[in-house]
Amino acid sequence: MDTQLFYQISIFLFQGFVVAFLILLLFRLRTIVGLGVLFTTLGLFQFIQVFMASTLYFEISENIVVSPGSSVLFSATLFAILLMYIKEDAITTRKLIYALIIANLVLCLLLLVFKINIEEVYSYNPFDISTEFFYTNVSVLFVGTGILYLDSILIIFLFEYISKYIPNLFFRILLTMILVLSFDAFFFTLGSFRFFDDIQKILYSGLVSKNFMAVFYSIFFTIYLKYFEKDVYKTNYLTFKDVFHSLTYKQKFEVAEKAVQLTENRYHTLTNLVPVGIFMTNAKGKTIFVNPKWCSISGLSQENALNDGFFSAVHTEDREGLKKGWYTTPDKRNIADVEYRFVKPDGTITWVLGRAIPEHNEKKQIIGYVGTITDITEIKLYELELNRLKEKAEESDRLKSAFLANMSHEIRTPMNGILGLAELLNEPKLTGDEQQLYLDLIKESGARMLNIIRDIVDISRISADQVTVSIDKVNINEQTEYLLNKFTPKAVKKETTLSLSNGILVDDTIIYTDEEKFNVILTKLIQNAIKYTEKGHIEFGYKKERDLLQFYVKDTGTGIAENRQKAIFERFVQADLEDRYALEGAGIGLSIAKAYVEMLDGKIWLESKKGKGSTFYFTIPYSKTLSPTPH
């Protein structure tokens, strides 16, 4: 690069620096002196750049000629429009564009008048200045005015479009201005120099010089926006058409977007402070926003909550009902409170009270919903505890009634028998056999009363957690054979056979468990089978299942209806409620058996069909050590 060329380029860069500095300084001082000075300066630029664009071109190289007016001043004017668009509102931007258009039209009119004046009358020209300017620049200015308006449209449209995809401010400005100045160079050259022989050279020169200035100005304007006038957003909801009323497409300004962003930032700050979960949906009910408190309550991240994602955390029992209520016809959806549960990843359940209200546009159409969820887990737990206490109180009342009803029958019957038989013993004419019979009946009634009292004491101790487990060696086969011999006479009286089936060899039958409780469990089950079996068969025994012994008592008695099979393990309940006094018993034997089985780390259940007999099962650990193995 020779000295002259370097010097010429340096001059252009210096001109660009001065012009950029002047525009930015006047823009910076707008709060003090207003925007009028800037508007006036840009208006002067129009006259100078039009004059220079058609009269002064400097040759930079063999293929490039540069017009300082077109490349330096006009490019700076377009950058000033973009700066106004970024930092001011739509009304101010429109005023600047219209001011520039009007200024150009006034220049066109004045030049046209001066041209007519020069042609029609004698003019005095003491400085011998060429009057060709007035003959050539009117048409150039008309073309430039039209293209200036199109450039202004392109600046805003392209900046809006590019801003959606490129977040970096410098590249947004640079790409916008490269496209606009390339458009300007192409159409201004074709419109103003279409009859010139070297139009290709002028077009090429315009593209190179204006794109060079686009890079140069983009650097200066970006530095200014980043360091000297950082973004301070104003609340402004004007649209793109507020700059150019004739346009119909909907594009927001950068100012409006930043204003909305500021509003959203304030809204998000507020939603982060409130102690309730907040969510927003679109008109279809799809979630588009949740605040951090919502995430904390539900256990979901913001990303996973969007659209219908939050349903994945709703309790399965509540999910379908919530969906059905939420996805009704939008115009029929009412404001309502609903309670449902969230299941967090760790399995904990959170009860929430949800409420949503619709948002409407100016046409009263629903455009979305805003709602809240409030953690009511503690309230629900309190309610559940109250219900549990209520049910327990009702159960206690029911059990008391059942106890009194059973006891009044079960105690009064043997007591009446004892008193009646004792009275009969006073008869002087009784034979020895009759006396012995009465004594046996008194003994039997007393034993029955004793069993009832013992059961009541046992169930009371169980309820008060006063029963302890005492582990010792127990020979299972010996215990089962003892019970077989004990209950065979009672079975025979009812014309029922009683059989035993032991499941393991004698050497393996010694285990560690609580002998007393084991005997009580098996005794209660055998007694229950004998009570409900007439002229049938009863079999009991056990078998080894891995580390458990599974015992069973099978009978061919009356059987138990399916809806009563769980209830019979409750206190003071018998299988046959319709004829509660038909059979003796307080209705607490199976509840004692169940409690003892659970104390021995086992479980109890039954299989039965009404009229076809029952089979009761229970398990205890097959423990060969001192402590039974829980399962």
Q: What is the largest CA-CA distance in the chain?
A: 175
Arithmetic mean of pLDDT, 338-352: 87
Contact 78, 179 (CB under 8 A): no
Give the helix/strand (H/E) hosting 542: strand 537-545
- Asked if 20 and 169 sit in the same domain, the reply is yes
Q: What is the pLDDT of residues 491-514, one digit of tens each?
A: 998 899 999 988 776 667 888 999
Predicted TM-score (pTM) of the model is 0.39
Q: What is the DSSP letter of 628?
A: P
* Residue 71 to residue 482: CA distance in whole angstroms: 118
With a cut of 50, say whether residue 209 has pLDDT above it: yes
- Asked if 394 and 342 sit in the same domain, the reply is no
In the chain, the N- to C-terminal Cα span, in Å, equals 94
Number of domains in the chain: 4
Identify which has the larger pLDDT, 250 or 164.
164
Considering the domain boundaries, does residue 267 fall inside one?
A: no
With a cut of 90, say whether residue 555 has pLDDT above it: yes
What one-letter code names the amino acid at 363?
A: K
Query: Which pLDDT score, from 0 to 100, does residue 577 have?
Result: 41
Considering the domain boundaries, does residue 416 fall inside one?
A: yes
Arithmetic mean of pLDDT, 572-581: 47
Arithmetic mean of pLDDT, 139-156: 80
- The residues near 615 (Cβ < 8 Å, ≥ 6 apart) are 552, 553, 554, 555, 606, 607, 608
- Of 1, 44, 47, give the one whose Cα is nearest residue 23: 44
Q: What is the pLDDT of residues 2-16, one digit of tens each?
A: 665 677 778 778 888
SS (H, E, C) 261-324: HHHHHHHHHHHHHCCCEEEEEECCCCEEEECHHHHHHHCCCHHHHCECHHHHHECHHHHHHHHH
**Banded model confidence at residue 285, pLDDT cuts 50, 70, 90:** confident
- Of 244, 271, 215, 205, give the one whose Cα is nearest residue 79: 215
- Asked if 393 and 317 sit in the same domain, the reply is no
- Asked if 344 and 221 sit in the same domain, the reply is no
- Asked if 330 and 403 sit in the same domain, the reply is no
Residue span of the structural domain in which 586 resides:
468-621
With a cut of 80, say whether residue 368 has pLDDT above it: yes
- Asked if 92 and 182 sit in the same domain, the reply is yes
Query: Which pLDDT score, from 0 to 100, does residue 266 have?
Result: 65
- Asked if 279 and 393 sit in the same domain, the reply is no
Tokens of 364: 């009263």
Query: Which pLDDT score, from 0 to 100, does residue 540 have?
Result: 94
**Average model confidence (pLDDT) for the chain?**
78
- The residues near 91 (Cβ < 8 Å, ≥ 6 apart) are 238, 242
With a cut of 70, say whether residue 579 has pLDDT above it: no
Q: How far is CA 584 from the centre of its chain?
A: 59
Give the helix/strand (H/E) hosting 375: strand 366-375
With a cut of 90, say whether residue 525 has pLDDT above it: yes
- Asked if 448 and 477 sit in the same domain, the reply is no
- Asked if 278 and 407 sit in the same domain, the reply is no
With a cut of 60, say whether residue 252 has pLDDT above it: no
Q: What is the pLDDT of residues 108-129, one digit of tens each?
A: 777 777 666 655 555 555 545 5
Query: Which pLDDT score, from 0 to 100, does residue 402 have?
Result: 66
Considering the domain boundaries, does residue 255 fall inside one?
A: no
**Banded model confidence at residue 251, pLDDT cuts 50, 70, 90:** very low
Tokens of 293: 């408190």
* Residue 202 to residue 187: CA distance in whole angstroms: 12
**Banded model confidence at residue 410, pLDDT cuts 50, 70, 90:** low
* Residue 421 to residue 424: CA distance in whole angstroms: 5
CATH of residue 335's domain is 3.30.450.20
- Asked if 177 and 279 sit in the same domain, the reply is no
